[in-house]
Structure 1
C-alpha cells in the first residue's frame, strides 16, 4: 500500500504539472516551479520575507533571490513595513496580480478536469476531508 505522503505528493504534482503547462500557454512559461511555489504563498496582504522563508521552508537568502527574480519579472514589489522600516514586505505588483488571477482561473479549470475524471461528488468529498482540522 502506498503511503499517504506519497499519494498526496503525487496528486499535488499532477495539479502543478497542469498549472505549469497552462502558465506556458498563457505566456508565463518562464516562471519556474520555485517561483510559482513562492507566488502560491502570496495573498492580498503584503508578507515579510522572513515569513515567506518560514512557510517555504527555505533560507532567507533563497527567498531574497526568488523575490529579486520576481521583481525583475515585474510580478513582485517590496514595501516598507508600517511597523518597522527595517522589514521589507513582499506583495504582487499589478502585473503579478494579473498573473495570479490567470493562475486561479487555470486552477479552477484543473478542478473541473478532475471532476470530469473522478466525479464532482468525489472532489467535494476530497475537499471536505482536506478541510477537516488536522493536528498541529
Structure 2
C-alpha cells in the first residue's frame, strides 16, 4: 500500500491505540480492568525507568496536574506509590507497588503476545524494522515556520 502524505501521524496514533486497546481489553478479561489510557501510559513510562511526575507529564504532553491525578488513581489501585526524591525534597518519585506485581506481569505478557502477533501478521523483519525506526533518534521536534523546517530556529539565532 502506498503511503499517503500527511497521514503518518494519524497512522502512528492509530497503532498506539491498537496496542493500548488490546492491552486494556486483555487486562479486563483477566480481572485487572479499570485502568484509564493516561494511567496505562504512565505505567509504560515508569516501566521504562521514568520516575519523576514532571518528566512523565513532559513526555506524555499533558499537564502535571493530569499526571498527578493519574498517579493518585494508580496509587489508590495499589499499582504505584510515591516517595520523596532523595535529590530534591520538593519532588516525588514513582515506584511500582508490590501489590501490583501480578497485574504488571500479566500486562507484560500481553504486550509480548501482541508483539508476537505483529510478527505473525507482518513478519519478523517488518517488526524489527518498525522497532528500529521508532527507537531511532529523530532529533529535537522541529518548529515549522511559514518558510519551512528549521526556519524559526534560524530566525531565533539571528535575533539573539
After TM superposition, the score normalised by the length of structure 1 is 0.88
Partner of 1:120: 124
* d(CA) in 1 for partners of 2:132, 2:49: 26
Unaligned runs of 5+ in 1: none
| Distance (Å, rounded) in 2 between the aligned partners of 1:130 and 1:58 | 21
Q: Comparing 120-129 with 5-14, which one deviates more in the overlay?
A: 120-129
Question: What's the offset of the Cα at 1:71?
Answer: 1.1
Aligned residue pair count: 136
1:71 aligns with 2:109: no
Residue number among 8, 12, 36 corresponding to 1:4 in the alignment: 8
Q: Do the aligned residues in 1 keep the contact of 2:50 with 2:56 (CA within 8 Å)?
A: no
Structure 1 residue 24, shift from structure 2 partner = 0.6
Over aligned residue pairs, what C-alpha RMSD do you find? 1.8
Aligned residue for 2:60? 56
Q: Which has the higher contact order (CA 8 A, sep 6+)?
A: 1
| CA 27–65 in structure 1, closer or farther in 2 if over 3 Å, else same | same
Q: Which has the larger radius of gyration?
A: 2
Question: Which of residues 102, 105, 111 in structure 1 aligns to 2:109?
Answer: 105
